[in-house]
Copies of this chain bind each other. A is one copy, B any other.
Amino acid sequence: MTLYLQLASHYRQAIHKGVLPPGARMPSVRGLMGLHQVSMSTALQACRWLEAKGLLEARARAGYFVRADKTWALPPVSEPALVALHDEARYVGVHQKVSSVLARAQSRGVRVNLAGAQAAPELYPLERLRQSSQRVLRQRGDCLVTPPPPGGEPGLRSALARQALEQQIQLSPEEILITHGCTEALTLALRAVTQPGDVVAVESPTYYGLLQILESLSLRALEIPTSPHTGLSLPALQEAAVLTPGLKAVAVVPHLQNPLGAVMPDAAKQALLAWCEAQDLALIEDDSYSALFDGPAPLRAIKSFDRSGRVILCSSLHKTLAPGMRLGWLSGGRWQQRLEMLKYSQSRPNESLPQLAVADYFNAGHGSRHLRGMRARLVLQREHMAEALARHLPAESRLSVPNGGFNLWLELPEGLSSMALFGAALDEGIRLAPGAMFSNSMRFDRFLRIGCGHPFDEAVRAAVQTLGRLVQSCR
The yes or no answer to A270 lying at the interface (CB within 8 A) is no
Of B133, B180, B215, B342, the contact of A144 (CB 8 Å cutoff): B133
Tell me, in angstroms, the Cα distance from A148 to B324 when the chains sit together.
Answer: 6
A191 at the interface (CB under 8 A from B): yes
Complex Cα distance A137/B126, Å? Answer: 10
The total of chain A residues at the interface (CB under 8 A) is 54
| Closest chain B residue to A128, Cβ basis | B144
Choose the segment among A10-18, A36-44, A54-62, A345-353 that binds chain B (4+ C-beta atoms closer than 8 Å): A345-353
Contact with B along A341-376 (1 / 0, CB 8 A): 110111111111110000000000000000000000
- Judging by beta carbons under 8 Å apart, are A130 and B144 in contact? yes
Does A468 sit within 8 A of B, measured CB to CB?
no
Indicate if A118 sits at the interface (CB-CB under 8 A).
Answer: yes
- Judging by beta carbons under 8 Å apart, are B323 and A187 in contact? no
B-chain residues with CB within 8 Å of residue A124 when the two chains form the complex: 144-145
Q: Is A100 an interface residue (CB 8 A)?
A: no
CB pair B133–A137 under 8 Å, yes or no, is yes
Are B118 and A142 neighbours in the complex by a CB distance under 8 Å?
no
Give the oligomeric copy count: 2
Indicate if the CB atoms of A324 and B209 lie closer than 8 Å: no
Contact across chains for B148 and A326 when beta carbons are under 8 A apart: yes
> Which of B121, B191, B218, B350 makes the CB contact (< 8 A) with A142?
B121
Given known A133-B353, A137-B134, A196-B196, contact A144–B322 (CB-CB < 8 A): yes
Please name all residues of chain B whose beta carbon is closer than 8 Å to the beta carbon of A212 when the two chains form the complex. Answer: 341, 344-345
**8 A–B contact pairs at CB < 8 A?**
A121-B146, A126-B142, A144-B325, A148-B326, A183-B346, A216-B345, A325-B351, A347-B347
**Known contacts A124-B144, A126-B144, A146-B324; 9 further A-B pairs (Cβ under 8 A):** A118-B147, A130-B141, A133-B133, A137-B137, A184-B347, A187-B346, A195-B218, A213-B345, A326-B351
* Closest 9 pairs (CB-CB, A-B): A124-B145, A180-B347, A212-B345, A184-B347, A326-B351, A144-B324, A216-B345, A130-B141, A121-B145
Q: Which residues of chain A have a CB within 8 Å of any CB of chain B? A: 95, 99, 118, 121, 124-126, 129-130, 133-134, 137, 141-148, 179-181, 183-184, 187, 191, 195-196, 209, 212-213, 215-216, 218, 318, 322-326, 341-342, 344-354
